[in-house]
């Protein structure tokens, strides 16, 4: 019997393992990486910052494409130079040689140096991993200093017309200057910047307004609808199907649909709203901040109230009708029945529905991205939209990741609060 238990347990772990590993690899690991990215000045459009560098490093490809040629050009120049320049050039040559030796003093760097040199001599392209070698800070700073000194001297000499191959020399020196890669580790600087940036607080505020208003309206309306349709009637299936359609349609598509209905010139909903006086002018819906926020919330309420009603209806149906019968025999009014029976028994259904809806609303992206793009003037820009824009429009992956981590933390806080209220109900065995 004990053996059986053991083998059952082993089987269970084997069965769970693939799912757990996948979840770890595609969901948990990326979140950890997001946090790591957020500590760097990580920009895809800037070659020196398109990878994460904790230390100073040297782009050997860049270095070796310039250094040897610069040295040989210097040598030629020295051979033809007059005494005054000769001295200057020789000193440059000496300094450059010195830093080159300094770089190669490191064993690993020296090895890679040879490898990359050989690859370049064969007119091939070295791999990203091979060509970037980390060097110590002192050597890196010395190198940077020497290169800029070289650049300066050559530039002055060239401007005075004292060089035979002036343009070539300055060109090579310039090429060399991009070889040193500074660490782009910035620690918590992104967080510090964003947390003191009014745009982030505006986005957080927008997200909160959107979440609180849309979820409360959805809850009240959803509960009302659920109470009303919680009875036997003809055409139940049809109503249920109707309810499911807004939920099932892609959010992006429904957002586009609403954009058409809200249109300032040809939108039918905008026209009706203007006719009944909710708005003064048809164009107000998408061109003013308040109008756009209202439009976005309205579209969200349309899409998810039915879903909310469905969840609550399922909860209502588990309440035994005998309770209501007993209550009405005791002379309880409808309202008393609702407060004393329905609400307490529906509590966990309501909380679960609220949890999922709050999180969904807080993460909102598709709806607003398509409907308003966050505008006008960032008045509907939520935190997810802001993070997306920073990442993909400004190609600032470091900053964007910091914002993404902020979204993650907010979501974690919200779920913790709900789960505290719900207790362990949510994951306990239900039989």
Partner 1 sequence: MQKKAGPLFYVFLFVFVFLIMFPFLWILLSSIKPLTELFGDEAFNWFTSHPTLKSYVSVFVNYPFLKYLWNSTVIATITTVYTVFVAAFAAYAIARLDFKGKSIILGIVLSVSMFPQIATISPIYMFVKKFGLTNSYLGLIIPYTTFALPLSIWLLVTFFRKIPFDLEEAAKMDGATPLQTYFKVILPLAVPGIFTTSILVFIAAWNEFLFALTINTAENYKTVPVGIAMFQGQYTIPWGEISAATVIVTIPLVIMVLLFQRRIVSGLTSGSVKE
| 3-state SS class at 288 | coil
Alpha-carbon distance of 372 to 340, in angstroms, equals: 43
In degrees rounded to 5, what are phi and psi of residue 59? -85, 100
By C-beta, is 70 or 310 nearer to partner 1? Answer: 310
User: Can you tell me which of 13, 83, 107, 125 binds partner 1, judged by CB under 8 A?
Assistant: 13
Q: How far is the CB of 65 from partner 1 (least distance, A)?
A: 25
Return the structure tokens found at 108: 């690993």
User: Can you tell me which of 188, 212, 220, 253 binds partner 1, judged by CB under 8 A?
Assistant: 253
- Supply the DSSP symbol for 59: E
Q: Distance of CA 338 to CAs 16, 321, 333, 344, 352, Å?
A: 43, 13, 9, 9, 19
How many binding residues for partner 1 (CB under 8 A)?
Answer: 107
Window 254-283: residues binding partner 1 (CB under 8 A)? 254-261, 263, 265-266, 268-269, 271
Per-residue mark of binding to partner 1, 366-385 (x: CB under 8 A): x--xx-------------x-
Strand partners, 185: 40
By C-beta, is 175 or 373 nearer to partner 1? Answer: 373
> Interface with partner 1 includes 420 (CB under 8 A)?
no
Taking each helix axis from N to C end, the angle separating 268-276 and 251-262, rounded to the nearest 10 degrees, works out to 50
Q: How far is the CB of 90 from partner 1 (least distance, A)?
A: 46
The C-alpha angle 330, 332, 333, rounded to 5 degrees, equals 150
The C-alpha angle 200, 190, 135, rounded to 5 degrees, equals 165
Window 143-202: residues binding partner 1 (CB under 8 A)? none
User: Can you tell me which of 234, 330, 331, 393 binds partner 1, judged by CB under 8 A?
Assistant: 234
Strand partners, 132: 59
User: Can you tell me which of 47, 187, 250, 344 binds partner 1, judged by CB under 8 A?
Assistant: 250
By C-beta, is 173 or 309 nearer to partner 1? Answer: 309
Window 21-60: residues binding partner 1 (CB under 8 A)? 22-23, 26-31, 33-34, 37
Which are the contacts of 381, defined by CB distance < 8 A and separation ≥ 6? 199, 202, 203, 206, 368, 374, 375, 389
By C-beta, is 22 or 84 nearer to partner 1? Answer: 22
User: Can you tell me which of 79, 125, 232, 276 binds partner 1, judged by CB under 8 A?
Assistant: 232
By C-beta, is 79 or 424 nearer to partner 1? Answer: 424
Residue with tokens 């709806």: 367
294, containing H or E segment: helix 289-316
- C-beta of residue 262 within 8 angstroms of C-beta of residue 286: yes
By C-beta, is 209 or 252 nearer to partner 1? Answer: 252
- C-beta of residue 362 within 8 angstroms of C-beta of residue 414: yes
The torsion of the CA quartet 133, 28, 215, 204, rounded to 10 degrees, works out to: -20
Q: How far is the CB of 216 from partner 1 (least distance, A)?
A: 18
Taking each helix axis from N to C end, the angle separating 198-229 and 289-316, rounded to the nearest 10 degrees, works out to 40
Window 319-358: residues binding partner 1 (CB under 8 A)? 321, 324, 348-349, 352-353, 356
Alpha-carbon distance of 42 to 402, in angstroms, equals: 11
By C-beta, is 170 or 207 nearer to partner 1? Answer: 207
> Interface with partner 1 includes 118 (CB under 8 A)?
no
> Interface with partner 1 includes 388 (CB under 8 A)?
yes
By C-beta, is 13 or 123 nearer to partner 1? Answer: 13
Q: How far is the CB of 428 from partner 1 (least distance, A)?
A: 7
By C-beta, is 147 or 279 nearer to partner 1? Answer: 279
User: Can you tell me which of 208, 217, 363, 376 binds partner 1, judged by CB under 8 A?
Assistant: 363
Q: How far is the CB of 43 from partner 1 (least distance, A)?
A: 12
- C-beta of residue 59 within 8 angstroms of C-beta of residue 178: yes
Alpha-carbon distance of 307 to 313, in angstroms, equals: 10
Per-residue mark of binding to partner 1, 196-225 (x: CB under 8 A): -----------------------------x
User: Can you tell me which of 2, 3, 5, 178 binds partner 1, judged by CB under 8 A?
Assistant: 5
Q: How far is the CB of 399 from partner 1 (least distance, A)?
A: 10
């Amino acid at each position: 019997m004990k053996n059986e238990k053991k083998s059952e347990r082993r089987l269970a772990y084997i069965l769970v393992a693939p799912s757990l590993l996948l979840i770890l690899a595609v969901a948990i690991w990326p979140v950890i990486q997001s946090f790591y990215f957020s500590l760097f000045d990580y920009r895809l459009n800037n070659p020196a910052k398109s990878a994460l560098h904790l230390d100073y490093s040297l782009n050997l490809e860049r270095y070796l494409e310039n250094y040897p040629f610069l040295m040989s050009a210097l040598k030629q120049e020295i051979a033809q130079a007059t005494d005054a320049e000769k001295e200057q050039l020789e000193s440059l040559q000496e300094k450059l040689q010195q830093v080159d030796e300094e770089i190669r003093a490191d064993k690993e760097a020296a090895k890679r140096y040879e490898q990359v040199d050989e690859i370049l001599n064969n007119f091939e392209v070295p791999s990203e991993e091979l060509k970037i070698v980390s060097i110590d800070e002192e050597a890196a700073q010395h190198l940077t200093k020497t290169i800029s000194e070289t650049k300066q001297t050559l530039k002055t000499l060239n401007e005075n017309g004292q060089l035979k191959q002036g343009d070539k020399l300055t060109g090579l020196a310039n090429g060399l200057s991009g070889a040193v890669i500074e660490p782009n580790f910035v620690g918590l600087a992104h967080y510090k910047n964003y947390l003191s940036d009014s745009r982030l607080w505006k986005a957080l505020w927008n997200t909160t307004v959107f979440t609180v208003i849309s979820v409360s309206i959805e809850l009240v309306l959803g509960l009302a609808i659920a109470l009303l349709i919680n009875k036997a009637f003809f055409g139940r299936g049809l109503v249920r199907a109707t309810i499911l359609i807004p939920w099932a349609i892609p959010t992006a598509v429904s957002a586009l649909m609403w954009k058409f209905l809200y249109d300032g010139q040809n939108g039918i909903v905008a026209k009706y709203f203007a006719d009944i006086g909710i708005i003064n002018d048809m164009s107000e819906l998408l061109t003013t901040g308040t109008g756009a926020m209202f439009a976005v919330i309205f579209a969200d309420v349309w899409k998810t109230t039915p879903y909310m009603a469905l969840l609550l209806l399922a909860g209502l149906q588990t309440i035994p009708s005998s309770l209501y019968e007993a209550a009405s025999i005791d002379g309880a009014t409808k309202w008393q029945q609702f407060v004393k029976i329905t609400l307490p028994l529906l509590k966990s259904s309501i909380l679960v529905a609220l949890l999922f809806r709050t999180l969904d609303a807080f993460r909102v992206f598709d709806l607003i991205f398509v409907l308003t793009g966050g505008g006008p003037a960032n008045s509907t820009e939520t935190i997810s939209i802001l993070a997306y824009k920073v990442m993909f429009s400004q190609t600032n992956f470091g900053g964007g990741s910091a914002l993404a981590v902020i979204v993650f933390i907010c979501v974690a806080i919200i779920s913790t609060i709900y789960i505290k209220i719900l207790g362990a109900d949510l994951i306990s065995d239900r039989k």
